[in-house]
C-alpha cells in the first residue's frame, strides 16, 4: 500500500481547498441579497443555485477568464433566485471579489510544512489576476513551485486537458512522472474523479460542510478534514520530522 511520502509533488486545487470559496462567494453576494431584501437566505441554498449555473458556464465558455465568468453568472443567479437584474457594475464587483476571498485558517502554515517534503504546484480554474491577488493577500505570498490556471490552459477542470497540461509541464520543469504526483483537492467533480480516470491517486481535503464540487460517489485514496491534518500525516510517516 502506497504512502503519502511516496509522492514527490502535490498538485493543488486552490479555491475550495486553500481558499474558502464558499465563504468568500457568499460574502460577495451580500450586497445583492441586501438590495433584494433577502439577507436571510441560507448560504448553502445560494451556493446550490450557483453551482447549477457555474458547471454549465465553464463547459460552454472554456476560454473566458474566471472573474469574467463569475460576473457573467451573476445575473443568471439573480434570475434563478427571482431577484431583479443586477447592474453591470454589481456583476463586475462580484467577479472581481475572488482575490479577496479568505484562506482557510490552516492553509498557509500547512503549505509551509508540506513544502519541506514535496514540490507544490497549483492547478486551478481561476484566472491569473485573481490568483495573483489571492496569493499576495490571503495566502501571504506563499511561493508555489509552479502555477497553472484555466486562463493559461484555455479550459476548465474537469476537462482532462487541464491535467494533461499539468503532466507535461511537471515533466519538463521537474523531470517528474505522473506516478510522482498526488492530486490534493476538495472538489470531487473538478479533481478527484478526473484524476482517478487517469489511474492516479488523490488526497481529499474534505472541508466539512462544503457543497461545491460534491458528488454522490466520492473517490479518494486519502481523506483529511483539513490540509493541516494531511501535513500531520506526512510528518507522522516521516517519524515526526
> How far apart, in whole angstroms, are the C-alpha atoms of residue 187 and residue 203?
11
Domain with CATH 1.10.150.750 in the chain: 21-100
> How far apart, in whole angstroms, are the C-alpha atoms of residue 138 and residue 158?
25
**pLDDT the model gives residue 54:** 86
**pLDDT the model gives residue 52:** 86
Closest CA to 230 of 67, 66, 120: 120
Q: What is the pLDDT along the chain (241 residues), one digit of tens a residue?
A: 789 999 999 999 999 999 999 999 999 999 999 999 999 999 999 999 998 888 888 889 888 999 999 999 999 999 999 999 999 999 999 999 999 999 999 999 999 999 999 999 999 999 999 999 999 999 999 999 999 999 999 999 999 999 999 999 999 999 999 999 999 999 999 999 999 999 999 999 999 999 999 999 999 999 999 999 999 999 999 996 5
Domain with CATH 3.40.50.1000 in the chain: 4-20+102-237
- Residue 224's H or E segment, with its range, is strand 222-224
Q: What pTM value is reported for the model? A: 0.94
- The three grid cell numbers given for residue 102, joined into one nine-digit string: 479568505
4-20+102-237: in CATH 3.30.1860.10 = no
Q: Give pairs for 106-111: CB < 8 Å, separation 24+.
A: 106/226, 106/227, 106/228, 107/18, 107/19, 107/139, 107/227, 108/139, 108/140, 108/142, 109/228, 110/226, 110/227, 110/228, 110/230, 110/231, 111/18, 111/139, 111/142, 111/227
Peptide bond into 75 cis (omega under 30): no
Backbone angles phi, psi at 229, to 5 degrees: -65, -35
Active site residues: 13
Fold of the domain built from segment(s) 21-100:
DNA polymerase; domain 1 (1.10.150)
> How far apart, in whole angstroms, are the C-alpha atoms of residue 8 and residue 134?
25
CB 69 within 8 A of CB 57: yes
Amino acid at each position: 500500500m502506497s504512502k503519502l511520502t511516496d509522492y514527490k509533488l502535490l498538485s493543488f486545487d486552490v479555491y475550495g481547498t486553500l481558499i474558502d470559496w464558499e465563504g468568500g462567494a457568499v460574502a460577495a453576494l451580500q450586497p445583492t441579497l441586501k438590495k433584494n431584501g433577502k439577507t436571510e437566505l441560507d448560504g448553502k441554498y445560494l451556493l446550490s443555485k450557483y453551482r447549477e449555473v457555474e458547471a454549465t458556464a465553464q463547459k460552454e465558455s472554456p476560454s473566458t477568464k474566471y472573474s469574467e465568468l463569475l460576473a457573467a453568472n451573476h445575473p443568471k443567479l439573480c434570475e434563478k433566485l427571482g431577484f431583479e437584474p443586477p447592474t453591470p457594475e454589481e456583476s463586475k464587483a462580484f467577479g472581481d471579489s475572488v482575490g479577496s476571498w479568505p484562506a482557510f485558517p490552516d492553509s498557509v502554515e500547512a503549505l509551509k510544512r508540506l513544502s519541506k517534503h514535496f514540490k507544490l504546484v497549483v492547478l486551478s480554474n481561476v484566472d491569473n489576476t485573481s490568483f495573483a491577488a489571492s496569493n499576495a493577500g490571503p495566502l501571504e505570498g506563499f511561493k508555489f513551485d509552479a502555477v497553472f490556471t484555466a486562463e493559461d490552459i484555455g479550459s476548465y477542470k474537469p476537462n482532462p486537458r487541464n491535467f494533461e497540461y499539468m503532466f507535461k509541464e511537471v515533466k519538463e520543469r521537474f523531470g517528474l512522472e505522473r506516478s510522482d504526483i498526488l492530486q490534493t483537492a476538495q472538489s470531487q467533480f473538478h479533481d478527484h474523479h478526473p484524476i482517478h480516470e487517469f489511474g492516479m491517486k488523490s488526497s481529499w481535503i474534505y472541508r466539512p460542510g462544503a457543497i461545491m464540487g460534491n458528488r454522490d460517489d466520492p473517490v479518494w485514496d486519502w481523506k483529511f478534514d483539513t490540509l493541516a491534518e494531511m501535513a500531520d500525516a506526512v510528518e507522522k510517516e516521516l517519524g515526526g520530522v
